[in-house]
Amino acid sequence: MSRASVRDRSRAFALVAPLILFLALFFVWPLWTMVTASVVDDAVTKVLPRTAAAMADWDGSDLPPPAVHGALAEDLRTVQDQQALGEAVRRLNSAVSGFRTLLTRTVTAAREASDPATLDLSTIDPRWSEPRFWRAIKEAVPPYTDRNLLAALDLRRDAGGSIVAEEPGAAANRIIMLRTFVIAGSVTLACAAIGLPYAMLAAAASGVMRALLLLAVLLPLWTSLLVRTAAWFILLQQEGLINRALAALGLIDAPLPLIFNRLGVIIAMTHVLLPFMVLPIYSVLIAVPRNLMPAAASLGAGPIRAFWRVLLPLAMPGLMSGCLLVFMVAIGYYITPALVGGANDQMISSVIAFYALGTANWGMAGALGLILLAVTLLLYLVYGRLSRSPQLPGA
């Protein structure tokens, strides 16, 4: 029953407003910035507005008309913002190498020219008589591009502008996305296989036993993720505890390769994410009346049938939320694969981090980030529908 007065409402709003503002500014806006970074491509337009206008009529087949030369010279002569110019140069140079020296030379010449409007640029540098440099400018002039988004899916536009698949040699993103889903899926399966029976065990136990079983789940949840990953790093290494123990037991002769491979990533991530599987299932099972299984038994169901027909269906909602949760968190994982995985175990987050931190390619980082964000939010939406409270366990 909503019977709030105007005063109550405005007071409540005043209390919530600071956080809304804070998150709008420092959460929603950054995400929006990332999304736009993947489609905005205005470095060249910003610096060469006249050229962009003059090029509108040119079909790009041969050399552009002289008016374009004049516009470009005028644009370069009047450019004030050196940083913007630098970005434009970088953008063009990434399309056709050689632009860096070409533009530097042209800017100097344009500044010194008495009448830039009539300047023939090919007299400054012979490369201006090559159509491919002009075409690069024309392609870079539109302020928005789907280049990054297409590239994120291993697609590109060919010379005619239609979308085609990237050559197999250059196509890496689909493989990485597939790998991300495979790793996240394996971790989810492993968590379900261990988590379901464990949650049932914990729900069936009582007193100290139950407290102990739950503590074993909560303790890792409270322990730093980094500490846990470091622990697995130490355990899994060549001379690590696991290999030593196996060798001491005489089970192996040479150390097993456990670290910097897929197995290590899955073991460590399963450890990290297992609580997210156990807790939702446990919270569903704990609400099941304790006398339900005896009741099923009294009605003639053997232990296996009772489990199959009574307990499992009741645990299903918890299992579903647990799986969604683990999968959702797993696909965005970065630290664990980065530390215990090898080159072939890097997930989509690593690629995003590589583009953003390694090469400052915001466009690609943004495009891949957008895909990861969309998938995660979709999963969260389903999770929110499935479980009554959208809150994550452990919070």
Partner 1 sequence: MLRALQIVFGSLVVAFLILPIIAILPLAFTSSVFLTYPIPSYSLRWFEELVTADVWRLSIINSLIVGGGATLLSTVLGTLAALGLRGNALPLAGLLRTLFLLPMVVPAVVLGVGMQIFLVRLGLASTYPGVIIAHAVLCVPFVVVSVSAALQGIDPAVEKAAMSLGAPPITVFRRVTLPLAVPGVVSGAVFAFATSLDEVVITLFVAGPNQRTLARQMFSSIRENISPTVAAAALLLIVGTLCLAALAALLRRREKPAVA
State which of positions 11-50 bind partner 1 (CB under 8 A): 11-20, 22-23, 26-27, 29-35, 37
9 forms part of the interface with partner 1 (CB under 8 A): yes
Interacting residues with partner 1 between 295 and 324 (CB under 8 A): 303
By CB under 8 A, tell whether 353 contacts partner 1: yes
Of 221-280, which residues contact partner 1 (CB under 8 A)? 222-235, 237, 239-241, 244, 271, 274
Q: Enumerate residues 65-104 that contact partner 1 by CB under 8 A.
A: none
User: Alpha-carbon dihedral of residues 18, 21, 24, 29, nearest 10 degrees?
Assistant: -130
349 binds partner 1 (CB under 8 A): yes
Q: Does 2 bind partner 1 (CB under 8 A)?
A: yes
If one counts every other C-beta atom within 10 angstroms of the C-beta of residue 254, the result is: 8
Helices (H), 332-361: 335-340, 348-353
Interacting stretch for partner 1, rule CB under 8 A, among 10-18, 118-126, 132-140, 315-323? 10-18
Q: How many residues bind partner 1 (CB under 8 A)?
A: 84
Produce one character per residue of 291-302: b if its CB has 16 or more CB atoms within 10 Å, e if not: eebeebeeeebe
Which is closer to partner 1, CB of 159 or CB of 208? 208
Applying CB under 8 A, which of residues 128, 198, 276, 282 lies at the interface with partner 1?
A: 198
Query: What SS3 class is residue 113?
Result: coil
Nearest to 181, CA basis, from 22, 27, 328, 302: 328
292 counts as binding partner 1 under rule CB under 8 A: no
Q: Which is nearer to partner 1, 194 or 246 (CB)?
A: 194
- Torsion, CA 71, CA 95, CA 357, CA 23, rounded to 10: 50
Q: What 8-state DSSP symbol labels residue 63? A: P
Judged by CB under 8 A, the residue of 264, 331, 337, 345 near partner 1 is 331
Kindly provide the residue ranges of all beta strands, DSSP E only, lying in 134-187, ordered along the sequence.
155-157, 163-165
